[in-house]
Chains A and B, each alone.
Chain A
Amino acid sequence: MFRFFLGRLGLLIPTFLGVTIVAFGLVRILPADPLELLAGERGMSPERKAELMRQMGMDLPIWEQYLAYLGNLFQGDLGTSFASKRPVLDEFLQLFPATVELSFCAILIAVAIGIPLGILAAVKRGSFIDQTVMGTALIGYSMPIFWWGLLLIILFSGILQWTPVSGRISLMYFFPQVTGFMLIDSLLSGEKGAFLSAVRHLILPSIVLATIPLAVIARQTRSAMLEVLGEDYVRTARAKGLPPHRIIGLHALRNALIPVITTIGLQVGVMLAGAILTETIFSWPGIGKWLVDSIARRDYAVVQGGLLLIAAIIMLVNLIVDILYGLVNPRIRHN
């Protein structure tokens, strides 16, 4: 097992180095000029520009810049934001909990609804229920979520006024950020109504972000269940006359869930991409919106650092999924 783990980790190192090259290269080589943005309509004299380039080390050969970047990286320095002049890592850590909170709720919704729906569809295969569930899932899977978010805002915040339009909590509340997770912090603060307010703010963005994973999980659960239900041991169990709910609950589900867990793991990347759109629509102060804003204002260091950190997170999650899968399924380990 340990060797399997080491092997997977060994594979990650060259990939990670490649990721640093991509993150660095994309942002540095392609033509875009953050210094021009600094000056705006006024423009900047060539002398001053040269001076600033020198100050920021942008006049060095590209490989020297890369090596310096890599060197800083291994000391935990991801650079300084062009706009806020603060370390990129600090900003990331400050905003990351908001994204985690949102993604976690979304995954929770997706799993809590997606798996039962998938099972239901599989058990009632070919029925009206199956068709409805799968049809809806396919619509969810095909949804342009930026549009979906706007529609929900129009309906629930605009017309019905049930939910707030944006933000993480009502401005009435102001309490210490202990964990960065609004749901936990609001409980810790002990302020009346704070938790409820946080939930109300979280609900629409979570639904929007959950839409695609929910559809994927429901579809995956259904097909995994169908496959397992056709296996010999399930047939045997059925032949032995075990009641259907026991067959599904005990035998089929446990085995069907293995590929579903992989699917859930793979949704993390989908989530982070979805967070870019969802956070933009709902002004959710997380890393998705941070990156979109930073791309818009050509904040080199933030885009670089953000790309790198997100890629690292996805790689890490994939590694964990891999290892879990290896634990559950020994055949993989020796491949």
Chain B
Amino acid sequence: MSTSPKADSSALVEKLERESRNATRAMLAEFWYYFSQNRGAVIGLAVFLVLVVTAVFAPLIAPHAPDMQYRDSFLVPPVWQEGGKWDFLLGTDPVGRDMLSRLIYGAQYSLFIGCVVVFVALTGGVIIGLIAGYMRGAVDTFIMRIMDIILAFPSLLLALVVVALLGPGLMNAMFAIAIVLQPHFVRLTRAAVLAERSRDYVVAARVAGAGHFRLMFKTILPNCLAPLIVQATLSFSNAILDAAALGFLGVGAQPPTPEWGTMLAEAREFILRAWWVVTFPGLAILITVLAINLVGDGLRDALDPKLKRS
């Protein structure tokens, strides 16, 4: 190609990467086109954005503080029911806290849980997966066996045991869920790396003298992003569901935290007497998870060329 290898090779690396960036930009435009075609995904995205806004501006939106106890208003029903009060649109819980405000603040927790868990699982998973796929050999085998071991347990059960033993609490619950979700990222990254590493552009970059680190993170990783994004969305909703389940089993976020699953667990004894304390938190979980899954479906369809064709 060239007669002065040193100078040219770095130029070549630059060029390859620039091309790849341009391609990425074109892909993004194409991706948005397909994504916006999917009505469900757009609705999901809209709901999700509303939730984000709700969570961020919770202190402004919520009519009451989430832990304010109105001692004269225990278990007030929603406003449209007999005995309801306009002060408490969705009623109050057993210690006189406003349900609506708690649900609004609960959005903070659920989104926070989703973000933290996905961030931890994604970063950890990607790094481990890159190492496994890039190094091959014994390291790869060792890492993948460990992932197999984690995947051999039902995720909720493993998380339950870890949390029960670490002590109940939101941080421990998030940590446990991140651990059980992380092997999926490892597997995906590794598979993508294996597929990509023999491609021309990687070979070219290596021949041109790119270092291991650069190869792993700047050359290969951007090209494995699509499946990772889809998996991240899925994990986001899984994290919310699992955290709520742990809360429901009494080992997740601890009261008075207005986490939805925990609210549900606290409300269980009122199942026959005060339907609203049971129904609303569950509904909130369902809507959130549904919105994220809609977005996830949209992302997958838009990023998966196979489905686009048919």
Given A142-B293, A147-B264, A151-B282, A273 and B149 touching (CB < 8 A)?
Answer: no
Q: Does B112 contact A (CB under 8 A)?
A: no
Does A272 belong to the interface (CB within 8 Å)?
A: yes
Interface positions, chain A 205-252, Cβ under 8 Å from B, are 223, 226-227, 230
> Which residues on A sit within 8 Å (CB–CB) of B145?
14-15, 18
- Whether A194 is near chain B, meaning CB under 8 Å from some CB there, is no
Apart from A14-B145, A158-B271, A227-B306, 19 more pairs, CB < 8 Å: A18-B149, A30-B162, A31-B167, A138-B290, A138-B293, A144-B241, A144-B245, A144-B248, A146-B261, A150-B278, A154-B271, A154-B275, A154-B278, A158-B272, A269-B154, A272-B154, A276-B156, A280-B249, A307-B161
Q: Which residues of A contact B (CB under 8 A)?
A: 11, 14-15, 18-19, 22, 26-27, 30-32, 135, 138-139, 141-144, 146-148, 150-151, 153-154, 158, 223, 226-227, 230, 269-270, 272-273, 276-277, 280, 291-292, 295-296, 303, 307, 310-311, 314-315
> Across the interface, which residues of B come within 8 angstroms of A296, CB to CB?
164
Interface residues of B (CB under 8 A from A): 40, 145-146, 148-150, 152-158, 160-162, 164-167, 237, 241, 244-245, 248-249, 261, 264, 268, 271-272, 275, 278-279, 281-282, 285-286, 289-290, 293-294, 297, 306-307, 309-310
Give chain B residues whose Cβ lies under 8 Å from the Cβ of A307: 153, 157-158, 161
Taking a contact as CB atoms under 8 Å apart, the answer to whether A139 and B286 are in contact is yes
Q: A18-B146, A142-B293 are in contact. Are A27 and B161 (CB under 8 A)?
A: yes
B275 contacts which chain A residues (CB < 8 A)? 154
Contact (Cβ within 8 A) B157 A26: no
Beta-carbon contact of A22 and B165 below 8 Å:
no
B46, chain A: closest CB distance, angstroms: 16
What is the CB-to-nearest-CB distance from B141 to chain A, in angstroms, rounded to a whole number? 9
With A15-B152, A307-B161, A310-B157 as contacts: A30 and B166 at CB distance below 8 Å: yes
Cα(A139)–Cα(B294), bound, Å: 10
Asked if B166 contacts A226 (CB within 8 A), the reply is: no
- How far apart are the CA atoms of A330 and B294 in the complex, in Å? 36
What B residues does A147 contact at CB under 8 A? 248, 264, 278, 281-282, 285-286
Q: A22-B153, A138-B294 are in contact. Are A146 and B161 (CB under 8 A)?
A: no
> Are A139 and B290 in contact, CB atoms less than 8 angstroms apart?
yes
Query: Which residues of A sit under 8 angstroms from B297, Cβ to Cβ?
Result: 138
User: Which chain B residue has the least Cβ–Cβ distance from A291?
Assistant: B157
A273 near B148 with CB under 8 A, answer no
Give chain B nearest CB distance to A61 CB in angstroms: 20
**Could you pull out 13 A-B pairs where Cβ atoms are within 8 angstroms?**
A14-B145, A19-B153, A31-B167, A32-B165, A139-B290, A147-B286, A150-B264, A150-B268, A151-B279, A277-B156, A280-B249, A307-B157, A310-B157
* Cβ contacts under 8 Å, A27 to chain B: 161, 165
Which residue of A138, A280, A310 contacts B154 across the interface (Cβ within 8 Å)? Answer: A310
Cα A291 to Cα B309 in complex, Å, equals: 47
CB-CB under 8 A from A270, the residues of chain B are: 154
| Chain B residues within 8 Å of A30, by CB | 162, 165-166
List residues of chain B with CB within 8 A of the CB of A14: 145
B160 in contact with A276 (CB, 8 Å): yes
Q: What residues of chain B lie closer than 8 Å to A22, measured between beta carbons?
A: 149-150, 153
Task: Find the B residue at minimum CB distance from A288.
Answer: B157
Contacts of B294 in A (CB 8 A): 138
Determine the residue in chain A with the shortest Cβ distance to B279: A151
Whether B289 and A142, one on each chain, are in contact in the complex, defined by CB atoms closer than 8 angstroms, is yes
Q: How far is the CA of A27 from the CA of B166 in the complex (A)?
A: 10
By a CB distance below 8 angstroms, the chain B residues around A310 are: 153-154, 157
Q: How many angstroms between the C-alpha atoms of A141 and B19 in the bound complex?
A: 40
> Which residues of chain B are near A223, meaning CB under 8 Å?
307
Q: Which residue of A lies closest to B161 (CB)?
A: A26
A272–B310 touching, CB < 8 Å? no
For A150, give its contact among B167, B241, B282 (CB under 8 Å): B282
